[in-house]
Amino acid sequence: MGKSKDIAVEEFSVRLRALKTRGGRSYEALARRLNVSASTLHRYCSGETVPEGFAVIARMARLCGADEAERRALEDLWTRADQTRRPLPGGPGGPDPLTDPGGPQAPAAPAPTVGPGAAAGSAGAVGAAPARESDAAAGPEGAAEPAGGAAPGPARRPDATPGPVAAPESARAVPSAPAPPPGPAPAPPGVAAPDAGPTPASPPPGPTASPGTLTPVGPVPPPAPAPLGGRARVRRGVLVAGAFAAVAALALVLVLVRPGASAGPGATPAPPTPTPSPTTTSAGTPAPAPAPAPAPPFTWTADSHTWENGCGHMYLVDRAPSGVAPPPPPADAAPWAGAHGAVHGGETLVRISLQGRSPSASVVLQALHVRVVGRTAPLPWTAYRMDNGCGGAVTPRHYAVDLDASRPLARPVDGYDASGSEGRRIPAVPFPYTVTSSDPEELLVTAGTTGCDCRWYLELVWSSEGRSGTVRIADSAGRPFRTSGIKGRPVQEYDVIGRRWITGEGSGQSG
């Protein structure tokens, strides 16, 4: 940037220098607390570089005694300085349609117009649901009033058993015969009529009807079954007895042969599984549910889309290069990966930020464990490189995890600062750590694999003031992290000039 420094960057660097002077720490001492090199911190304070994220500056503000108002003002300055350094999304060609959510959207298809008769169509056709709503408002289907105002009669149902032939229309329409004397009440359906003859209110149950019976005009009810003769009654009794015998035999088989019993000779049936009952108190009332475990005395966040040196990373995507958007800025890596269904290729870097809830109660972070919950063959997808090689002068200290090991461990690894005239080792800090609200901590975990598609998460063991527990650290949705090997996969690199993906060096070998 040289002498033509941007005004926003200059204001930001002036505020950083004032904050560092007020804290009273040297660049070396302050950089160790921020987990960065002294030269990197000096470039921040001199305005040569703007940090990729605000987390480091927020920690610096807390360490130097800045209050909340100063921290917010500092974040506003960082935002303006970061915007002056950040390239426009999509490059000179404008916003990319695959990454810019504000781009033009395809017009929505108009909703189909559903007429009153749409209910008669197929149940799976488009617009069937609105048609049903309109039919419901108009009344039940098929409830239109018949011509002449006559009430609709019940539909006839075909009967499997032959019944008496209905009387002709001329016989049913003659009302001149005198009314029959009152007789016994009609028998319920399915029961043979008494010998006294049919009731006036029902059709003739026998093959013949009385000459003076009046048949009402209108809907004809279903005919009652004909009385059974002697042989029919015998056959019906045999069928009913046979049905009862079959049901009894089936029940006996179900009792003797229970699920879980061995089919071999002399096998003992398995005892029935007891049904768990809710816990009750001595008074017979259900016991209250156990109270949820209290929250840990610290807060934490995890970012699994951290890139090495802020630019180097590899993603596996199950798409052709023509369907993959250009590489995003590091700050937009998570939305880009989610939109493409991308999986970390070869290595996953997880940055964990921890801060206590109380300024006086210290929380001791005792250990960090790695749990692999799934291993399958590496994904046969294409690898997309997010840069063409960026390299960095500073390698931060971190915890390395070999996911291919049978029992992966988080091993502390020293960092290295090659920005000065002489290289300097950044010693790793093993567990335990101590955090409070005014003294946060940041951990960097690097997990790699060459031979599996691994799903894994971390467990952080803590203790504070007589309490202890374990916190599961996974992605923002609570799912395990996912890392797949890229050995032998085709590798694509992005051509900034041609604005397209091209085959990279070492493609199909190791990526």
223: confidence class by pLDDT, cuts 50, 70, 90:
low
Tell me the pLDDT of the chain averaged across its residues.
71
State residue 372's pLDDT score: 97
State residue 392's pLDDT score: 57
Is the model's pLDDT at 371 over the cut of 90? yes
Query: Which of 55, 62, 54 shows the shortest CA–CA distance to 19?
Result: 62
Helix axes 55-63, 68-85, angle to 10 degrees: 150
Query: Which of 262, 481, 266, 484 shows the shortest CA–CA distance to 373?
Result: 481
Q: Cα-flanking dihedrals φ and ψ of residue 16, to 5°? A: -65, -45
H or E, element range at 72: helix 68-85
State residue 323's pLDDT score: 93
Yes or no: say if 169 and 154 are a contact pair by the CB < 8 Å rule: no
Is the model's pLDDT at 472 over the cut of 80? yes
Q: Cα-flanking dihedrals φ and ψ of residue 156, to 5°? A: -75, 140
H or E, element range at 9: helix 7-23
359: confidence class by pLDDT, cuts 50, 70, 90:
confident
Q: Are strands 343-345 and 481-484 parallel, antiparallel or unpaired?
A: parallel
Cα–Cα distance for residue pair 80/8, rounded to 1 Å: 6
For the entire predicted model, the pTM comes to 0.48
State residue 386's pLDDT score: 87
pLDDT tens digits, one per residue of 36-83: 888 888 888 988 888 888 888 988 888 888 888 988 998 999 898 888
Helix (H, G, I), strand (E, B) or coil at 18: helix
Is the model's pLDDT at 123 over the cut of 90? no
Q: What is the mean pLDDT of residues 419-438?
A: 83
Provide the phi-psi class of 488: left if phi over 0, else alpha when psi is between -120 and 50, else beta.
left
- Structure tokens, 289: 């549910």
pLDDT tens digits, one per residue of 393-406: 567 788 999 999 99
Which of 197-201, 240-244, 401-405 is least confident?
Answer: 197-201
- Structure tokens, 96: 């990319």
Which residues, in sequence order, are CB contacts of 274 under 8 Å at separation 6+?
none
State residue 217's pLDDT score: 47
% the chain with pLDDT above 90: 29
pLDDT greater at residue 24 or residue 446:
446
Q: What is the mean pLDDT of residues 143-152?
A: 39
Is the model's pLDDT at 246 over the cut of 60? yes
Q: Computed from CA positions of residues 21, 25, 26, 30, in that sequence, does the dihedral angle turn out positive or negative?
A: negative
State residue 424's pLDDT score: 78
State residue 136's pLDDT score: 36
Cα–Cα distance for residue pair 107/433, rounded to 1 Å: 55
pLDDT greater at residue 191 or residue 459:
459
State residue 84's pLDDT score: 79
State residue 109's pLDDT score: 42
Half-sphere exposure of 83 (CA within 13 A, CB side): 7
156: confidence class by pLDDT, cuts 50, 70, 90:
very low
For the stretch 210-249, what's the b/e string if a residue is b when 16 or more beta carbons lie within 10 angstroms of its beta carbon? eeebbbeeeeeeebbbbbeeeeeeeeeeeeeeeeeeeeee
Yes or no: say if 484 and 460 are a contact pair by the CB < 8 Å rule: no
233: confidence class by pLDDT, cuts 50, 70, 90:
low
Locate all alpha helices (DSSP H) within 173-320, ordered by sequence: 230-256
Angle, CA 73 vertex, CA 68 and CA 79 arms, to 5°:
125
Query: Which of 486, 492, 102 shows the shortest CA–CA distance to 322?
Result: 492
pLDDT greater at residue 383 or residue 263:
383
State residue 368's pLDDT score: 96
Yes or no: say if 202 and 184 are a contact pair by the CB < 8 Å rule: no
280: confidence class by pLDDT, cuts 50, 70, 90:
low
Is the model's pLDDT at 458 over the cut of 90? yes
Helix (H, G, I), strand (E, B) or coil at 38: helix
Which residues, in sequence order, are CB contacts of 438 under 8 Å at separation 6+?
62, 359
